[in-house]
């Protein structure tokens, strides 16, 4: 099977950079900050493939570059190097407007301008952040939050949008009679579910989950994870799951990458990594978790 | 000497060293270049170096600078303030033009070559020989939803208008209809969302595929934008919640009897009764004169 997304050598650095950055950072040096020039290599040489309907986990401690990776792929930050390709398939060709053109696929998406990136993001991607304040407008109604992505995608019928928003909120277990209330009135778990509804509103191909269950209590965590699993099997989504929690990764992902100090130290099938970790850091992680 | 006496005296501006039209050639050139850019990119806000004028910023200086950089000695000017030729802002701007440019002033829309207006578009249809200059207090249509100038510029560049539409969605959810009464946002040429200045909804359809050129000047905010002739100007609307103009059904002007114009509502201070009269005073006077003949 063809991979849907190919990411190669993704790099993000904060600082000027020098010729000794590469050798002086990374898991072996136990830092991601070059001591020659002070540059932080938040993400360096990260490559992966993501296949249709697959869930890829990214696991690592704080500061390992997991969230940086998501921000690069979601076009929130400019990458300093690397390529990001979404391969064409039948779904992509049905996209409206400007980006149905063949020339815009199977090219490095980092080379597009911000207008084109936004079009691609609106059409193909969804994201759920750890902090609902990043993904939601807290003082706009929950239905409006879902509708915002539809409006950005060119929907111009209020009744149809409200219907779609009600469907999505129903699926994510938000009482539909509360859809005109702002998420500021909701509990943390409900806000997270509204975020999921919003991320799914445009039928994305790829859903980024950035620490979605961190900060929720255990029973709510279980419900949110359950919901994501159900939606994934129903909607045929590809997931990129970022978490420091091996339990979440184990539950959701077939394949996993382990990151440390901005680099990938180990990648493979999730079962394999959990049962038979090769890298010293992964061994430590698994031992401390399970 | 008081400003008023000085303006009326022989030593008025252009007679004492000011060039025709008050602005120097460099300033006029810059404004004209910005106008050309604005016309080339319909609905795009072009920044310009708004000059200090002998009128306070926010009193129509943007419109005044555009008019002054365009007028020639044989132009005929009309200046209106909310449709009225005789209100304070319009009268003072007209006096200023007469003292610095010595052009003819009219109240007749069809006779004018350049019309400067605040918050109204005249009722009578205009031709491709005429230029309409609008004074703009707040040029940024997205300011309602985004306070940061940097962010609104990015939103315009990326055509990221989801939040503006969301504003209308929320309005409909809360009120059952779109409750914007003036400054109704429009999409120009299918690309930029533009603030048509605080004209009532009544005037918005007049911008669409018009023969006339519309120039917008915001002096305080230092922006110029334009709608060239025969350009698509579409108010933001939904399939199931269409844009509507004000409803004056069953009302007529108490002076000239017109039923097809935008009305001002006048409340009689003695008995509290309501009367309506044409907001476009020049048009109303013209109808009265024809009636009397």
Q: What is the pLDDT of residue B4?
A: 67
- In percent, the amount of chain B with pLDDT more than 70 equals 95
- Nearest residue of B to residue A159, measured between CA atoms: B240
Query: Closest to A158 (Cβ–Cβ): which among B161, B163, B169?
Result: B169
Phi, psi at A287, each rounded to 5°: -65, -40
Interface test with B, best of A151, A160, A161, A201 (most B CBs within 10 A): A151
Indicate the residue of A115, A152, A157 with minimum beta-carbon distance to B162. Answer: A152
From the list B83, B253, B277, B282, the catalytic residue is B253
Say how far apart CA B108 and CA A97 lie, in whole Å: 46
What integer pLDDT is reported at residue A53 of this predicted model? 87
Q: Who wins on pLDDT, B167 or A63?
A: B167
Within 13 Å of residue B65, how many CA atoms lie on the same side as its CB?
36
Chain B residues whose CB is inside 8 A of the A158 CB are 169, 172, 238-241
Supply the pTM of this predicted model: 0.89
Active site residue B16: no
pLDDT band at A236 (very low <50, low <70, confident <90, very high): confident
A140 touching B, CB under 8 A?
A: yes
> Pairing between strand A5-14 and A40-50?
antiparallel
Task: Give yes or no for a contact between A43 and A69, defined as CB atoms under 8 angstroms apart.
Answer: yes
Could you tell me the pLDDT band of residue A266, with boundaries at 50, 70 and 90? very high
Domain span holding position A204: 5-289
* Counted domains in chain A: 1
Measured between CB atoms, which of A147, A157, A180 is closest to B240? A157
Q: Pick from B69, B50, B54, B60: which is nearest to B114 by CA?
A: B69
A90 touches chain B (CB under 8 A): no
Instruction: Kindly tell me if the per-residue pLDDT of B130 is higher than 60.
Output: yes
CB contact under 8 A, A148 and B161: no
* Cα A145 to chain centroid, rounded: 19
Nearest-CA residue of chain A relative to B237? A156
Position B12 pLDDT exceeds 70: no
Say yes or no: A262 contacts chain B, CB-CB below 8 A.
no
Report the distance separating Cα B265 and Cα A29, nearest Å.
78
Catalytic residue among B43, B60, B63, B219: B43
Amino acid A218: pLDDT: 86
On the CB side of A195, CA atoms within 13 Å amount to 29
pLDDT band with cut points at 50, 70 and 90 for residue A99: low
**In what helix (H) or strand (E) does residue B46 lie, and over which residues does it extend?**
strand B46-47
In this predicted structure, the answer to whether residue B145 has a pLDDT above a threshold of 70 is: yes
Strand partners, A55: A239
Q: What is the predicted pLDDT for the residue at B19? A: 84
Beta carbons within 10 angstroms of residue A144's beta carbon: 26
Mean pLDDT of the A236-258 span: 91
Which of A114, A118, A151 lies closest to B169 in CB terms? A151
Q: Looking at CA atoms only, how far is residue B142 from chain A in angstroms? A: 15
Q: Mean pLDDT over all residues of chain B?
A: 92
Local confidence band at B269 (pLDDT 50, 70, 90 cut-offs): confident
Angle at A133 between CA B194 and CA A122, to 5 degrees: 50
What is the interface size between A and B, counted as CB pairs within 8 Å? 50
> Quick one: tokens of B26?
């460099």
CATH number where A44 lies: 3.40.50.300
Confidence band, pLDDT 50/70/90 cuts, at residue B102: confident
Q: Does A151 touch chain B (CB under 8 A)?
A: yes
Read off the pLDDT of each residue in A68-83 and give the average, rounded to a whole number.
93
pLDDT, tens only, A201-226: 988 889 999 988 887 888 888 888 99
Range A123-135 average pLDDT: 91
pLDDT in the model for residue A93: 55
Nearest to A281 by CA among A248, A255, A249, A244: A244
Residue A183 at interface with chain B, using a CB cutoff of 8 Å = no
Which two tokens mark A83? Answer: 């390529």
- Which of B62, B83, B217, B256 is an active site residue? B256
Q: What is the pLDDT of residues B183-240, one digit of tens each?
A: 999 999 999 999 999 999 999 999 999 999 999 999 999 999 999 999 999 999 999 9
- The residues near A211 (Cβ < 8 Å, ≥ 6 apart) are A67, A129, A130, A242, A243, A244
Span B260-282, average pLDDT = 92
Is the per-residue pLDDT at A94 higher than 60? no
Is the pLDDT score of A102 beyond 70?
Answer: no
Chain B nearest CA to A144, separation (Å): 7
> Measured between CB atoms, does A152 come within 8 Å of chain B?
yes
Partnered with residue B218 across adjacent β-strands are B223
Average pLDDT over residues B125-141: 96
What's the mean pLDDT when you consider all of chain A? 88
Q: B142: which DSSP letter?
A: G
- Nearest of A75, A51, A62 to residue A238 by alpha carbon: A51
Q: Is the pLDDT assigned to residue B243 strictly greater than 90?
A: yes
B173–A114 CB contact, under 8 Å: no
Beta-carbon contacts of B93 under 8 Å, excluding residues fewer than 6 positions away, are: B55, B60, B64, B79, B116
Of chain B, the percentage scoring pLDDT greater than 90 comes to 82
Mode of pairing for the β-strands spanning B104-105 and B186-188: unpaired
Nearest chain A residue (CA) to B240: A157
A176-194 pLDDT, tens digit per residue, is: 999 999 999 999 889 999 9
Lowest-confidence segment of A45-54, A217-226, A239-248, B156-165 by average pLDDT: A217-226
Mean pLDDT of A139-153: 93
Q: Does A163 touch chain B (CB under 8 A)?
A: no
Residue B202 DSSP code: G
Whether the Cβ atoms of residue B157 and residue B193 lie closer than 8 Å to each other: no
- Adjacency order of strands within the sheet including B192-194: B192-194, B186-188, B233-235
User: What values do phi and psi take at B125, rounded to 5?
Assistant: -65, 140
Are B158 and A115 within 8 A, CB to CB?
Answer: yes
Residues A115, B157: C-beta atoms closer than 8 Å: yes
Measured distance CA(B193)–CA(B203) in Å, rounded: 17
Chain B residues in contact with A178 by the CB 8 A cut-off are none
CA–CA dist A213, A246 (Å, integer): 12
Q: What is the DSSP string of A63-126?
A: TSSHHHHHHHHTTSS--SEEEEEE---HHHHT--GGGGSGGGSSS-GGGS-HHHHHHHHHHHEE
Does A271 reach chain B within 8 Å, measured CB to CB? Answer: no
The mean pLDDT of B50-71, rounded to a whole number, is 93
Average pLDDT in the B79-97 region? Answer: 92
Q: Which residues of A touch B241 (CB under 8 A)?
A: 158
Question: How confident is the model over A4-8, as a mean pLDDT?
Answer: 90
Residue B264: predicted pLDDT: 93
Maximum distance among all Cα pairs of chain A, rounded to whole angstroms: 60
Chain B contact probe: residue of A117, A121, A148, A181 with most B CBs at under 10 A? A148
The rounded distance, in Å, linking the Cα atoms of B118 and B93 is 11
- B174's enclosing H/E stretch is helix B162-175
Higher pLDDT, residue A180 or B17: A180
One DSSP character per residue, A15-40 reads: S---TTHHHH-BTTTTBSB-TTT--E
Among partner residues B158, B163, B238, which is closest to A118 by beta-carbon distance? B158
Q: Is B244 exposed, middle or buried (0-12, 13-18, 19+ CB in 10 A)?
A: exposed
Structure tokens of B226? 């334009």
Going from the C-alpha of A61 to that of each of A46, A71, A261, the distances in angstroms are 16, 17, 9
Mutate to test the interface with B, among A113, A135, A158, A159 (most CBs of B within 10 A): A158
Known catalytic membership, residue B84: no
What is the rounded distance in angstroms from the CA atom of residue B22 to the CA atom of residue B69? Answer: 9
């Amino acid at each position: 099977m063809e991979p849907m997304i190919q990411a190669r050598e993704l790099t993000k650095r904060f600082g000027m950079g020098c010729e000794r950055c590469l050798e002086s950072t990374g898991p072996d040096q136990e830092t991601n900050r070059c001591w020659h020039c002070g540059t932080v290599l938040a993400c360096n040489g990260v490559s992966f493939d993501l296949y249709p309907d697959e869930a890829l986990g990214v696991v690592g401690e704080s500061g390992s570059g997991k969230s940086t990776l998501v921000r690069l792929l979601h076009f929130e930050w400019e990458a300093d190097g690397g390529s990001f390709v979404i391969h064409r398939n039948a779904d992509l060709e049905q996209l409206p407007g400007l980006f149905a053109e063949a020339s815009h696929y199977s090219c490095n998406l980092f080379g597009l301008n911000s207008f084109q990136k936004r079009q691609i993001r609106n059409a193909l991607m969804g994201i759920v952040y750890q902090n609902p304040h990043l993904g939601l407008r807290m003082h706009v109604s929950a239905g409006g939050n879902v509708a915002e992505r539809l409006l950005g995608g060119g929907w111009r019928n209020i009744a149809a949008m409200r219907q779609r928003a009600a469907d999505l909120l129903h699926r994510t277990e938000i009482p539909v009679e509360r859809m005109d209330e702002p998420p500021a009135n909701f509990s943390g778990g409900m806000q997270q579910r509204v975020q999921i509804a919003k991320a799914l509103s445009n039928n994305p191909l790829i859903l980024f989950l950035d620490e979605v269950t961190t900060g929720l209590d255990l029973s709510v965590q279980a419900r949110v994870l359950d919901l994501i699993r159900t939606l994934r099997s129903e909607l045929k989504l590809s997931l990129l799951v970022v978490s420091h929690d091996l339990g979440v990764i184990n539950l959701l992902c077939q394949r996993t990458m382990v990151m440390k100090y901005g680099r990938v130290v180990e990648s493979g099938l999730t079962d394999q990594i959990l049962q038979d970790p090769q890298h010293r850091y992964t061994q430590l992680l698994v031992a401390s978790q399970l | 000497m008081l400003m008023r006496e000085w303006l009326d005296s022989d030593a008025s501006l252009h007679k004492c060293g000011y060039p025709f039209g008050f602005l120097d050639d460099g300033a006029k050139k810059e404004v004209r270049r910005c106008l050309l850019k604005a016309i080339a990119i319909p609905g795009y806000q072009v920044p310009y170096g708004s000059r200090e004028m002998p009128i306070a910023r926010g009193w129509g200086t943007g419109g005044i600078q555009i008019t002054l950089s365009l007028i020639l000695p044989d132009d005929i000017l009309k200046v209106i303030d909310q449709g009225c030729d005789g209100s304070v802002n319009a009268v003072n701007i007209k006096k200023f033009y007469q003292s610095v440019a010595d052009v003819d002033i009219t109240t007749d829309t069809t006779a004018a070559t350049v019309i400067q207006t605040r918050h109204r578009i005249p009722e009578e249809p205009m031709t491709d020989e005429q230029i309409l200059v609008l004074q703009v207090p707040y040029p940024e249509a997205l300011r309602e939803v985004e306070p940061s100038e940097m962010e609104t510029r990015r939103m315009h560049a990326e055509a990221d208008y989801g939040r503006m539409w969301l504003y209308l969605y929320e309005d409909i959810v809360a009120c059952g209809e779109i409750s914007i009464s003036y400054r109704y946002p429009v999409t120009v040429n299918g690309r930029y969302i533009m603030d048509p200045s605080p004209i009532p909804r009544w005037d918005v359809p007049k911008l669409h595929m018009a023969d006339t050129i519309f120039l917008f000047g915001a002096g305080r905010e230092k922006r110029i934008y334009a709608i060239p002739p025969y350009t698509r100007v579409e108010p933001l609307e939904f399939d199931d919640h269409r844009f509507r103009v004000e409803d004056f059904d069953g009302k007529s002007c108490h002076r000239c009897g017109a039923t097809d114009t935008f009305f001002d509502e006048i409340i009689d201070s003695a008995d509290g009764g309501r009367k309506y009269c044409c907001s476009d005073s020049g048009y109303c006077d013209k109808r009265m004169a024809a009636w009397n003949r």
